[in-house]
Amino acid sequence: MKKIFLIGFMGCGKSTISAYMREHLHLSVIDTDKYIEKKYDMEIKDIFSTYGEKTFRDYETNSIDEVSDYEVISTGGGIVEREINIKKMKNFGVLVYLHTPFTEIVNRLKNDKTRPLWNNDLITDMEKLYQRRSKMYEAYSDVIVDTHNRNVNEIAEEIIASIKKA
């Protein structure tokens, strides 16, 4: 089976889906954000505040090669911001976009203080970021899976079925 890179906006369920795939489908899974936090012994928000977004994006780009042995790679929402990341991920496997409506993202993240780009307090700015990135996710993905009103099992099964067809 090809490597699966889960892409999508923050809060779309990448970490939840990948954890399900590890537990129920027995696939090897890694989350690039958690990998970076462990490697640099810092939370993402602290990397952003101490070194800036560019440094974090550099760490993210490097992490793609470093985690490529895993079967499922859950990525950060901004991984599509760099063309090199898209090329690397496509070289290793298939990009699966977990599409989630913005209203659902807002509901899921309303109390989340761990995401540096979400804690802006300006929902309009977040919606603009969502709209911009959504176009990238759609353009770069090999498979699009709608997560709205669906359970984790249904989403994971659709991903696996889609990968087998690809």
What's residue 121's pLDDT? 57
End-to-end CA distance of the chain: 10
Annotated binding site for ATP: 11-16, 115, 150
Torsion on CA atoms 124, 135, 58, 38, rounded to nearest 10: 80
What's the pLDDT tens digit per position in 131-157?
999 999 999 999 999 999 899 999 999
Residue 5 confidence class, pLDDT cut points 50, 70, 90: very high
Residue 71 near residue 27 (C-beta atoms within 8 A):
yes
Torsion on CA atoms 152, 153, 154, 155, rounded to nearest 10: 50
Annotated binding site: 11-16, 33, 57, 77, 115, 133, 150
Contacts of residue 57, defined as CB under 8 A and 6 or more positions apart, other chains included, come to 78, 81, 82
Residue 116 confidence class, pLDDT cut points 50, 70, 90: low
Residue with the larger pLDDT of the pair 57 and 162: 57
Annotated binding site for Mg(2+): 15
Fold designation for 3-165: Rossmann fold (3.40.50)
Residue 11's region, left for phi above 0, alpha for psi from -120 to 50, else beta, is left
**Strand pairing category for 72-74 and 29-31:** parallel
Contacts of residue 24, defined as CB under 8 A and 6 or more positions apart, other chains included, come to 153, 156
41: pLDDT strictly greater than 90: yes
Phi (first) and psi of residue 11, to 5 degrees: 85, 5
What's residue 119's pLDDT? 57
| Mean pLDDT of all residues belonging to the chain | 91
What is the secondary structure of 1-61 as a DSSP string? --EEEEE-STTSSHHHHHHHHHHHH---EEEHHHHHHHHHTS-HHHHHHHH-HHHHHHHHH
Residue with the larger pLDDT of the pair 124 and 78: 78
What's residue 97's pLDDT? 98
Residue ranges per domain, the chain?
A: 3-165
Residue 163 confidence class, pLDDT cut points 50, 70, 90: confident
Annotated binding site for substrate: 33, 57, 77, 133
Residue 135 near residue 63 (C-beta atoms within 8 A):
no
